[in-house]
Amino acid sequence: MNTIKLKDEVQRAIRSEWPAFVVNHPRLAEILDEDLLIEHAIEMLRDDAEYQDAMRTASAANIGLEAVRGVVVRLVGKFLRSLV
């Protein structure tokens, strides 16, 4: 696989981090819109140098999604923590 469906990966990452976010910030979690959150996280990722480097490396090595998934999960977690 040499492509990544960024929206799908961001959505998965947000959903995996969401239960902890809800526990730590229940009131904020109540008012956040998932679609808007996903779009903002995608924008953040597209501008992130680490994500861009991971994508270039994965593309050059023709290894695709598996090499980038961990970066997406970590950066989305960082994005969610930045909301508070």
> For residue 70, is it within any domain?
yes
Give, in degrees to the nearest 5, the angle at Cα 73 between 1 and 12.
75
Does residue 66 have a pLDDT over 80?
Answer: no
pTM, 2 dp:
0.80
User: Would you place residue 2 in the very low, low, confident or very high pLDDT band (cuts 50, 70, 90)?
Assistant: very low
Residue pLDDT, tens place only, 8-20: 999 999 999 999 9
Burial 10-48 (b: 16+ CB within 10 A, else e): bbebbeebeeebeeeeeeeeeebeeeebbeebbebbeeb
Q: How many domains does the chain have?
A: 1
Q: Where in the sequence is the domain holding 32, given as residue range(s)?
A: 6-82
Residue pLDDT, tens place only, 31-46: 999 999 999 999 999 9
Contact between residue 68 and residue 55 where contact means Cβ atoms under 8 Å apart: yes
> For residue 1, is it within any domain?
no
